[in-house]
Structures are given as C-alpha cells and as structure tokens.
Amino acid sequence: MVDVRRLGIAAGAVALALVAATGCATGPGAESDEPDDDGAVVLTLDAMNQYQRHVVACMADQGWDIHVTSDNGFGLATASGQGALAQVDLGGCLAEADDLYIPDWTEDTARTYYAEMVELGRCLAEHGYPTSDPVSEQSFVDALFATDDVLWHPFTEALQAEQDAGGDVDSLWDLVVPEGAECPQPLRPAPL
C-alpha cells in the first residue's frame, strides 16, 4: 500500500512535475483502502494508479505526450511555446481526476489541514527557511471551501525563495518529502 500523503507535493511547487495524488483519497475500484494510525485513508496502489491513468488518458486525448515518472509525478514533453497550453490542459485533467478520486473538504479536515500548514511553517523557519505569517484560519478554510485553493503554503514559499536565491533546494525537499521527514508536508486529509 502507498501512503499518498508522503508522496504528494503542492501542485504549485513543481511546474509540470505534479504528483498524481495531491492528498489522501479513495476512488472507484480501490480494492482495500484502510485507515492508518491517524485515521486518514491511505490509497492502495491500485487506486493511485487509477488516478494517474485517468490523467494520462485525459492528456493523451488532447494530444499530449505524458507519462508517470518514478516519483509518481507526471513528465510532459512540450514543443517550444506550448507550455502554457499544456498547463491549462493538465489543470483540467487533474481537476477531473480530483472530482473522481478526492473527497470534498469538511470543516474538520480543512481546519486540520490548516493546523498542519502552520506547523510546517514553524518547522521550516526553525530550519532556516522563513515564510510569511499564516493567513487567518477562517480565511484559509473559506478559500478551501470556495475554490479548493490553498491560500497560504509555507513550503511553496520557501521553495520559491530558495530557487530565486540559487539556494540548496535539495535540502529543503529532504526536510518535507521522505518518510519520517523532519517537517512533513501536510496533504489533504480524507475522512473515513
């Protein structure tokens, strides 16, 4: 079984190398999704693969050459000047897959997600990656319900700042991504 929360990265953080599942979800045909210790649903490999296959098929239907990368992201080759169009199409395909495989927010999951983002910001600052102050909890939650957008994401801010400064992006990634990371990347929780 693959714990998608440990694989996912905020879409804005990595141009077109988006992780297939931006949070925990269950989907049609998932054979044995089970709760883990903190009650979040963990996708079976089959369910995650269905999400990825949906996105790849959707993009292929629009004429794009896309594949799933070894880190469960997407690799997309585009001709010069086609990147913006590819991003629009990819956004649409991801939205379709999200509608099929990722549950809607609840008040509890949205507030938990906010608390985890605040903790991530604190942890990143302790490791020398300061970010802006968090938005209010209510603004964050309202934005999730209204648009499904994350209003404040400390990892995305820290990553952009490191890239702009020519800093050590790999060390930043190592803080948030691997199993047992010091500053685990919060991902969309899914209630049972």
Residue 190 maps to a domain:
no
Beta-carbon count within 10 A of 164 CB:
8
pLDDT at 83: 84
pLDDT value at position 41?
A: 42
The Cα 187–Cα 117 span in angstroms is 9
55 inside domain: yes
Same domain, 134 and 154: yes
Instruction: Give the predicted TM-score (pTM) of the model.
Output: 0.56
Residue 90 shares a structural domain with residue 113: no
Q: Are residues 78 and 123 in the same domain?
A: no
pLDDT in tens, 142-181: 998 888 788 899 998 998 999 899 988 888 888 887 677 8
Average pLDDT in the 29-45 region?
43
94 and 32 within one domain: yes
Q: Are residues 91 and 139 in the same domain?
A: no
Q: Is 86 found in the same domain as 137? A: no
**Residue percentage of the chain with pLDDT more than 70:** 69
Are residues 160 and 172 in contact, defined by beta-carbon separation less than 8 angstroms? no
Q: How far is CA 36 from CA 4, 43, 55, in A?
A: 11, 10, 26
Model pLDDT, residue 11: 32
| Beta-sheet strands, E only, within the chain | 34-35, 41-42, 65-68, 74-77
Q: How far apart are CA 65 and CA 131, in angstroms?
A: 36
- Count of domains for the chain: 2
